[in-house]
Amino acid sequence: MCRWMAWLGQPVLVDELLFKTQHGIVDQSLHSRMGAEPTNGDGFGLGWYGGGDGPALYHSVSPAWSDANLRELASHIESPLFFAHVRAAIGSPVQQTNCHPFRHRDWLFVHNGYLGGFHAVRRDLMLAIDADRFADVQGSTDTEVVFHLALTFGLQDDPIGALERTVGFIEATAERHGVPDAVQASFGVSDGSTLWAVRYATAGSARSLFASADVEAIKRLHPDNPRLQRLSPNDRLIVSEPFSDLPGLWHEVGEGSAVTVRRGGELEHQPFRSRQAAPAL
Amino acid sequence: MCRWMAWLGQPVLVDELLFKTQHGIVDQSLHSRMGAEPTNGDGFGLGWYGGGDGPALYHSVSPAWSDANLRELASHIESPLFFAHVRAAIGSPVQQTNCHPFRHRDWLFVHNGYLGGFHAVRRDLMLAIDADRFADVQGSTDTEVVFHLALTFGLQDDPIGALERTVGFIEATAERHGVPDAVQASFGVSDGSTLWAVRYATAGSARSLFASADVEAIKRLHPDNPRLQRLSPNDRLIVSEPFSDLPGLWHEVGEGSAVTVRRGGELEHQPFRSRQAAPAL
Amino acid sequence: MCRWMAWLGQPVLVDELLFKTQHGIVDQSLHSRMGAEPTNGDGFGLGWYGGGDGPALYHSVSPAWSDANLRELASHIESPLFFAHVRAAIGSPVQQTNCHPFRHRDWLFVHNGYLGGFHAVRRDLMLAIDADRFADVQGSTDTEVVFHLALTFGLQDDPIGALERTVGFIEATAERHGVPDAVQASFGVSDGSTLWAVRYATAGSARSLFASADVEAIKRLHPDNPRLQRLSPNDRLIVSEPFSDLPGLWHEVGEGSAVTVRRGGELEHQPFRSRQAAPAL
Amino acid sequence: MCRWMAWLGQPVLVDELLFKTQHGIVDQSLHSRMGAEPTNGDGFGLGWYGGGDGPALYHSVSPAWSDANLRELASHIESPLFFAHVRAAIGSPVQQTNCHPFRHRDWLFVHNGYLGGFHAVRRDLMLAIDADRFADVQGSTDTEVVFHLALTFGLQDDPIGALERTVGFIEATAERHGVPDAVQASFGVSDGSTLWAVRYATAGSARSLFASADVEAIKRLHPDNPRLQRLSPNDRLIVSEPFSDLPGLWHEVGEGSAVTVRRGGELEHQPFRSRQAAPAL
């Protein structure tokens, strides 16, 4: 049901975190341990900042583990801020327009989870999207609808608040349709300089989510791990599942909470609550 | 801007009409003569009746001319009724969910042309689709929206009438948005036993469309053409562009008109007029 | 490391054995239990007899579980004899020319396993292929080389004998290169009327392989299983892994043995031994 | 039958030359004017130096005109030296391993043209490839065989000389098989700092090839063309077909000649003659 990761820190070759890490996101595409399914083989997406105007996207319908272009890009593209996402489609078509990250101008958005009863609520949710933006929805995923709702609810001004209102609106809509598990999610968002991540479920346990800890103490504990030694206090990782070769680095993001990572590595936690609001149409 | 063909008649290997004909639909994917563009290389679709329940679909994002699977299927699948469609995407993504024919239960639908100002009218058109059917729209083409509108307007009871109401509704919507060329189209529809085809444009000349003539007189004129000799009075072809090795066989379908082909080869012409109507919600 | 199945018997919708069976081949693409890897997501192939001239192929680079076209074909194509194969690529590219079954005229060939040290032996093996056939090798798999070697060694006259000579030749070649595990394999072959299957490994345990048992006794044991009741004495299945909803139906094919299935359901077992022979050039 | 371009000069966004130029290589994929066919829609390749170790490749089976990832990469990747190639397959499969550029360590190689009678000569040519390199041939194109032959004949030490020996060897082989038009080609090669290009045909006229002229005189002639004004004396383009918005910039590379472009924009011409030589095995 998808796995994702995000990096904000010193510029690194994407490769370093995609293929050179043990149990990195590409390995998770084949052998996820904490996901709803072990296999996330229904396409892949990479979104990165750096070079040219705005973020770049690479979307592929191939599984991440077998995509030759992904290995090429990862080993030649350097970025201080990027998302990688492996998809498990649960029913919707495997096509590039259904691959994460989704983009609007400078903003990127990824999601692990689902909207309950999406077939039932899709129309009502799409009607709530800013009418000017409606025709921008190109694929058929719940995530793209969430993203455009969030933009409608003010994502670009107040990312966490807009997502709280989006989740509240989806829950109210789902309730009208008798759907109990409206939102199951970890979300990742960025505008190119700050990174936000949310962990939330309307019902039951939310999808797993981890942030990397402050690295200084960890470097002292593991003086012989060259990969940990390379990390600086400015670097932060947000991941659906810990990489196994960076032990001790991971703090679980609590259920119903959000984190904000700013340049310099600063990490803030805050509660995340669904909020009822009408879209600002 | 797309080319399509339809066959209703004796069961034939699809190959016979796709690859063995001169200037057949696959050749038209590379060298269209009467289309808006010579190249129709943005995916392909085949929809056929025969074997299993309901019609089968093969949708490919490869150009028809290079798709090895298409050659395999064409030379091994026999059908008394099928559509083939080559696509020129004009902006929308090349993905299987954007390939024609579109299907609902026993019904298949193809389109050559476009909706003017689709980005502007998409939301209003989608809102007019039967709410229960809204979430079935999987791709991002104008054609899929037209098809679901037509189903909403009664396609399954009165195909030509429903398309007249659909076109009327689209034209009224476009007018509200200041779009002059609402509908440019040839449409093909079938329920598995009858075949309907429409040629219509709101403004200017409509996409080319041809129906095969009664074959007896033609067989007498061309006694040495083995492909013409194989045709029976029960066989009808509807095509965007004539095949060049069946000379004399083609009658142009008039602008603003519709044809109905029934089993036995019967061909009826009727005028096609846009009709203003509210959707039967 | 691949899984495959073959059917010889009454004409059935491919669907019946691909998607409607519990733990059928498509499920094995995602959750193989007896394979070297649980995931066989690196492409898929279907080869069937019936309709048109010779066998038809459908090769896809998508995982079998997410290929919409495969579901369409499976539910509309009926065949008395077909192969399905899901691939785990172990290094070679995921491309249609690397998908099984491979075909030469009326012959189809599938393989589960690998040639040890293929990079080292590939040149010597390809040089032993009949020179006229060399340029027919289109992909980069070991299996395609095995197939063309087997054709060179007389597959069309004596399938089991030719495979014994092929395996012997590969083992001798591997030995010259210091490769200990020359051949690891289950093979499936057909000419359109008879089906042959081989289970063999140069070293260690060979890939799993099962044949369906005589069905009369089993029908008496499970009078309430409708899927078993539909089987006739003329029907045989050969599978890498048993389907779980047809309990008791399966006999393991012994290591170092071959089976021959003829029309009428007759099943013969024989030993399979590698034989040293020079190619008949 | 393919079109390609190469850039050596100041670092530029690939986009600038791929999409922003009139009648650039992507437009040539749809509307080639000087090629053997107007459509070059059978896959695409981009190979660039800059970032990470060695050159990077992006190979796609989609036509260049519809590949969303290509637009993303082109508008975000900057490079001082890159190749772009659009393919017309003439029979061989459309797969990533058949896309140009081909790569060996730091070397990239592209080709427009064909080997005459390739099916007949393929085996003899592949046997002449350095045995250690034989298993590296992953696809089924003539070009990949030419590249590995050229490596065998010393490409890395003497690019033009090695290509002359390669062409001579292919011609001798073709002659033995009674093939008159052994080589039809423009070739492009680079090691990451120098760029070589060859125009040659065994028989008849060779594929078109152009090099950009010294820019100072041209800038004075066209003071109002902003794209020309941006060029510096250090920049060189080699193209199959001129871009139409840079008039006067192009010098045809003569038939049977080669050019060498070094950093700093220096351009050397020399004759290119096929030379008979045995491979240095």
* Interface contact C66-A41, CB threshold 8 A: yes
- Region C30-59: mean pLDDT is 91
Is B62 in contact with D94 (Cβ distance < 8 A)?
yes
Q: Is A89 on the interface with C (CB under 8 A)?
A: yes
Q: pLDDT tens across C176-198, in order? A: 999 999 999 999 999 999 999 99
Of C87, B97, C40, B59, the closest CA to residue A96 belongs to B97
Between C78 and B226, whose confidence is greater?
C78
Interface contact flag, C62 A61, Cβ < 8 Å:
yes
Q: Is A69 on the interface with D (CB under 8 A)?
A: yes
Question: Residue D245: is its pLDDT beyond 90?
Answer: no
Nearest by Cα to D279 from D159, D183, D151, D110:
D151
| Residues of C in Cβ contact (< 8 Å) with A41 | 39, 41, 63, 66
Q: Look over chain A and give the mean of its residue pLDDT values, rounded to a whole number.
A: 92
Higher pLDDT, B109 or B51: B109
Best mutation target, C1, C39, C69, to test chain A (most A CBs within 10 A):
C39
Please name the amino acid found at residue A155: L
Per the CB < 8 Å rule, is D30 touching B42? no
Asked if C96 lies within 8 A of D95 by C-beta distance, the reply is yes
Which of D:233-272 have CB within 8 Å of A? none
Report yes or no: D233 and D177 within 8 Å, Cβ to Cβ: no
CB atoms within 10 A of CB A92: 18
Task: Kindly tell me if the per-residue pLDDT of A40 is higher than 50.
Answer: yes
Is D121:D183 a contact under the CB 8 Å cutoff?
A: no
pLDDT of residue A38: 85
Q: For residue D89, list chain B residues with Cβ-Cβ distance below 8 A.
A: 66
Mean pLDDT over A19-42 rounds to 86
Instruction: State what percent of residues in chain C have pLDDT above 90.
Output: 74
Interface contact flag, A96 B93, Cβ < 8 Å: yes
pLDDT of residue B24: 87
The pLDDT of residue A31 is 87
Residue B281 is predicted with a pLDDT of 47
pLDDT for C281 equals 47
Angle at D7 between CA D3 and CA D8, to 5 degrees: 150
pLDDT of residue B278: 65
Return the structure tokens found at C221: 């044991």
Matching residue, tokens 């060979």: C206
- The closest CB to that of C69, out of B48, B58, B68, belongs to B58
Instruction: Judge whether D206 is closer than 8 Å to chain A, CB to CB.
Output: no
Mean pLDDT (whole number) for A104-126: 97
Which are the contacts of B184, defined by CB distance < 8 A and separation ≥ 6? B113, B114, B115, B116, B201, B202, B204, B206, B207
D119 interfaces chain C, CB cutoff of 8 Å: yes
Mean pLDDT of chain B: 93
Task: Decide if D62 and B89 are in contact by the 8 Å CB cutoff.
Answer: no
| Stretch A61-77: mean pLDDT | 95
* D39 to chain B: closest CA residue: B30
- Measured between CB atoms, which of D41, D68, D89 is closest to B41? D41
Contact A135 B127 (CB under 8 A): no
Contacts of B140 in chain A (CB under 8 A): 97, 137-139
Q: Identify from C27, C28, C62 which residue to disrupt to test chain A contact, counting A C-beta atoms within 10 A and taking the largest count.
A: C62
Cis amide bond preceding B247, omega within 30: no
Mean pLDDT, range A204-218, rounded to an integer: 89
Residue of B nearest to D29 (CA): B39
Predicted confidence (pLDDT) at residue A221 exceeds the cutoff of 80: no
User: pLDDT band at residue A27, thresholds of 50, 70 and 90?
Assistant: confident
Whether residues D39 and B42 touch (CB distance < 8 A) is answered with no
8 A C-beta contact, residue C46 and residue C5: no
Mean pLDDT over A61-73 rounds to 95
User: Which subunits count as partners of chain A given 3+ CB pairs below 8 Å?
Assistant: B, C, D
Q: How many residues does chain A have?
A: 281
Instruction: Look up residue D51 and give its two tokens.
Output: 């970032």
A39 touching C (Cβ < 8 Å): yes
Q: Is B34 on the interface with D (CB under 8 A)?
A: no
Residues of B in contact with C76 (CB under 8 A): 48, 50-52, 56
Starting at the edge strand found earlier in the chain, the sheet holding A44-48 runs A56-60, A44-48, A78-86, A3-13, A236-239, A210-212, A250-252
A63 touches chain C (CB under 8 A): yes
> Mean pLDDT throughout A273-279?
82
Q: D278 falls in which pLDDT band (50, 70, 90)?
A: low
Q: Quick one: tokens of B273?
A: 């007029």
Q: What is the mean pLDDT of chain C?
A: 92
Tell whether C127 is within 8 A of chain D (Cβ). Answer: yes
Work out the minimum CA distance from B278 to partner chain D, whole angstroms: 37
Question: How far apart (Å, rounded) are the C-alpha atoms in residues D81 and C93?
Answer: 27
Question: From the candidates A60, A61, A94, A95, which should be mutated to test the interface with B, based on the most B CB atoms within 10 A?
Answer: A95
Q: What is the pLDDT of residue D281?
A: 47
The confidence score (pLDDT) of residue B243 equals 87
- Cβ separation D135–C127 shorter than 8 A: no
Q: Is the pLDDT of residue C244 over 70?
A: yes
Contact D51 A77 (CB under 8 A): yes
Q: Do B62 and D66 touch (CB under 8 A)?
A: no
Please say if the pLDDT value at position A51 is more than 50.
Answer: yes
What pLDDT does A148 receive? 98
Please indicate if any CB of chain C lies within 8 Å of the CB of B51: yes
Six-digit token string for B53:
């329940």
Sheet strand arrangement including B236-239: B56-60, B44-48, B78-86, B3-13, B236-239, B210-212, B250-252
Would an 8 Å CB–CB cutoff place C52 in contact with chain B?
yes
Measured between beta carbons, which residues in chain B are less than 8 angstroms from residue A59? none
B277 — pLDDT class (breaks 50, 70, 90): confident
Distance CA B212, CA C112 (A): 50
Mutate to test the interface with B, among D39, D60, D65 (most CBs of B within 10 A): D39
D contacts of A60 (beta carbons < 8 Å): 69
**pLDDT top residue among D37 and D174:** D174
Contacts of residue D66 in chain B, CB cutoff 8 Å?
41-42, 89, 94
ipTM score: 0.93
Of D27, B60, B69, the residue nearest C44 (C-alpha)? B69
The pLDDT value recorded for residue A281 is: 47
Instruction: Kindly tell me if the per-residue pLDDT of D216 is higher than 90.
Output: no
State the virtual CA torsion across D143, D144, D149, D155 in degrees, nearest 10: 90
Determine whether the interchain pair B38/D38 forms a contact, defined as Cβ–Cβ distance below 8 Å. yes
Pairing of strands B44-48, B56-60: antiparallel
Contact at CB, B135 and A122, closer than 8 angstroms? yes
Contact C109, C196 (CB under 8 A): no
pLDDT in tens, D129-149: 999 999 999 999 999 999 999
Please say whether the beta carbons of C5 and C83 come within 8 A.
yes
Burial class (CB in 10 A: 0-12, 13-18, 19+), D226: exposed
Q: For residue C134, which residues of chain D lie inside 8 Å, CB to CB? A: 122-123, 126
3-state secondary structure B154-192: CCCCCHHHHHHHHHHHHHHHHHHCCCCCCEEEEEEEECC
A138/B123 Cβ within 8 A: no
- The distance of C57 to chain B (nearest Cα, Å) reads 6
pTM: 0.95
Confidence of residue D172 (pLDDT cuts 50, 70, 90): very high
Mean pLDDT, residues C38-65: 94
Q: CA of C59 to nearest chain D CA: how many angstroms apart? A: 12
Average pLDDT of span C148-167: 98
Specify the residue for token string 């399979």: C272
pLDDT at A87: 94
CB contact (8 A) between residue C68 and residue A93 = yes
Q: Kindly state whether B39 is in contact with chain A, defined as any CB-CB distance less than 8 angstroms.
A: no
Band the pLDDT of B279: cuts 50, 70, 90.
low
From the list D39, D66, D94, the residue facing B30 with the nearest CB is D39
> What percentage of residues in chain B have a pLDDT greater than 70?
98
Whether the pLDDT of residue B280 is over 60: the answer is no
Cβ within 8 Å, pair C42-A66: yes
| Closest chain A residue to B97, measured at CA | A93
Q: Tell me which residue in C48, C51, C76 faces B56 most closely, judged by beta carbons.
A: C76
Q: Report whether pLDDT(B54) > 90.
A: yes
